[in-house]
Amino acid sequence: MARINIKGHEFEAVTARDSFSRRAVQYKNRIIASIGRLGLTIDDIDIELEPNVIKKAPASVSWYLDGHHLHYSHNSMNKYVDNLYVVFKVIDIKITDLIEERVTFEEFIREFSEDKDVAKKRKEARTTLGLGHEVDDMTVIDKAYKDLAKKHHPDAENGDTEKFKEINRAHKILKRELM
């Protein structure tokens, strides 16, 4: 098994080899149980299972905590079910950090706080950087960002401050999604 590093935590990347739908349901239930440790119920959590759990697709979960809309998604694995495992693992680690007071409530909120239209913003960010909507390789995203930032930098000839700011916002949105 390969080890992956996400949001400052390293863990084993589990790859489902059989019973894909059953495993996806198990990971969904684990996510609900983990978030439940914060006193939330299934009614506070939005997590829809992808009908075809073996296709490459992002897995995500949204929940509300003390008036904050929190969200986490992952899309670097080759199957939705494997992305769902990563979502579970990251959320479980971060909630444990909160409960064991290794992070403050404010840090936890900042880590997962997202606008309700985050999917739309991520799509627009990829368009701004001239990328396809399925691109999730940070090396490719960083290269596109650097090329455009260099071209539109305010100190460059024909630089455009507003375009430069838009490019920076787009990069931050995608970096937050994938790091």
pLDDT per position in the chain (179 positions), as tens? 678 888 778 888 888 889 999 999 999 999 999 999 999 999 999 998 999 999 998 899 999 999 888 999 888 889 999 999 999 999 999 999 999 999 999 999 988 987 667 778 888 889 999 998 878 788 888 899 999 999 999 898 888 889 989 988 888 878 776 65
pLDDT for 137 = 80
Our CA angle for 9, 80, 110, nearest 5°, is 40
- Give this prediction's pTM: 0.70
pLDDT for 37 = 97
Helix, coil or strand: residue 57: coil
Residues near 49 by beta carbon (within 8 Å), at least 6 away in sequence: 24, 25, 28, 84
Please report the domains of the chain, with CATH numbers, ordered by start residue.
Answer: 3-112 (no CATH), 118-178 (1.10.287)
pLDDT for 178 = 65
pLDDT for 8 = 79
**What's the residue count for the chain?**
179
Give whole-number Cα distances, 147 to 72, 101, 126, 142, in Å. Answer: 28, 41, 14, 9
pLDDT for 115 = 67
**Which residue spans within 18-57 are E strands per DSSP?**
45-46
Q: Tokens 């998604």 identify what position?
A: 73
pLDDT for 3 = 84
pLDDT for 5 = 82
Terminal-to-terminal C-alpha distance of the chain: 20
pLDDT for 11 = 86
